[in-house]
Structure 1
């Protein structure tokens, strides 16, 4: 992009650089923060009072050959060959000393008719388990320690590194730290090809999609003043 054009765009306000197409267009408003910014920490082994407390938790069955991850409004099962996604809306929750019962409606896709069901989290023994009649790959999963996965980046333009002033390792580390609390089984992130530059705020913001079965979006922001790269 011509240097004079960038300077002109900065004078106007914020600029959106579409790296994939080489097109630049001006925007008067910077992008909004990710809606899940400030999300709660994952629950400990026991004691969650809401299913939201288990967002980002890791579960397994049959010796680890099957896994379950809970995100906001979605549960993703995997067995190495297939992925089963269950979308849910909470109707009511009933926590007690032995765990948590959650009345939900579930669907497998956007065109499905919602079905009523129950998610039961049982922490009355040394192991915390979860069951749901909408599960496809296993009837029951056991809460595990989150896997120590490092999220790698898929192939991307080197302009991403230039605009964020960060190498792949730094970008990967920021995404990995975010995913560990929200999408523990993610192992790779695909860049969406766009970087939003707020010339007034001196920040650059972009997003990635995780390979967690739910297509979870991660937003990264680079502060040109503090040189800090953070995931939102």
Structure 2
């Protein structure tokens, strides 16, 4: 009886050794392939901060010129993996495009922006309107709430007669002034391609406001008022 028990025990031990050896070979094979037991193979879907996933809708933003819808003259340039706003200051925001969806005349581009060196919560670029007259809005913007596409594929809106003295009083540049009036006309006077300075400036020394009027070259010769304070421009009709 004892002899039979001993033989059975040796047989079981031999089986366990064979099973154990097989398990070791399996784990070793997995490690050789860069995979430990219990792990699933890594996929090649990781993203680096600032890298676009090739979104067609986002790419279309990079091919246009964008000016602030509020008429402040600020601009936004969309690049691969980054958007750059220029106004009273410069704001560069790295981003990753996550997805895009289009419905009812709007395209929603979900992005993951980077703020202050850290990944911020996902938000969206909401694009509306037809090509050549689109508007893009986003909580990720730092200078203006939304930007409009400048007509003519980036052709500059012309402003005539703005003297050096006026630009100094307004604390602005001819380019910044042109962008501000262009953004206003884009939505309010779409047929205008230029505006001419009337030559008069109103300066409020107490508040620091500097205002001047321009005439657009549309059929109605629309009067445009530009108010400047601390380098920021406000355009109104």
TM-score normalised per structure 1: 0.39
Ranked by relative contact order (alpha carbons within 8 Å, sequence separation 6 or more), the top structure is 1
Higher helix content, 1 or 2: 2
Higher strand content, 1 or 2: 1
* Bigger Cα Rg: 2
